[in-house]
Amino acid sequence: MSLCLASAEEIKRVLEGSQSVECTCGLATLDVLRAYVHDHFPGRQVRLFHSHSTLLRNGVATEAENHVLRVGDECPHCAVLTREFLDQSPADCGARLRQWGVAGKLSIERTVVVDVDGVSAV
C-alpha cells in the first residue's frame, strides 16, 4: 500500500481549518491514540485531524478521509490512520499500536501509515 499526499497548499488549508471534515471516529478510540502517544512522546503536542488523501492498494486508487496523528510542531512525526484501522474497537486499536511498535517506527521513519494489516513507512 502507498499513500499519495496532498499538496502543501492543500495541507495548509486543512491545518488552518478552512476545510473541515466531520469526524465520525469514536471518541474512545481517539482517547486511546492520545494516551498511547503521550506515553511514548511525553510533553510533545499532539494533533488529530482528518486528511483528504488517495490510497493506492494493489494498483487501485481510492479516495479516503484518513485520520492523521501529528506529534510535535517543528519537524513533526505523523501517522496516517486508515478508516479500516479506526473502525476496530478501541481495545484492539490500542493492542495493535503496542504490538506493532508504532511509536518506535514513528521515531525512525517520521511518517507512517497504520492500517489493519500493519504499519508501513511512507
Model confidence pLDDT, tens digit, residues 40-94? 888 888 887 776 655 555 665 555 567 777 787 677 888 888 888 888 999 999 9
pLDDT for res 62: 54
Measured in residues, the chain has a length of 122
pLDDT for res 99: 95
- Cell numbers describing residue 76: 513533526
pLDDT for res 82: 84
pLDDT digits (tens, 9 = 90+) for 4-24: 444 445 545 544 544 444 556
The partner residues of 61 in beta bridges, in order of sequence, read 56
Name the CA dihedral angle for 24, 107, 72, 1, rounded to a multiple of 10 degrees. Answer: -40
Question: What's the domain range around 42?
Answer: 2-121
Closest of 71, 73, 75, 66 to residue 113, by C-alpha: 66
| Number of domains comprising the chain | 1
pLDDT (average), residues 92-101: 94
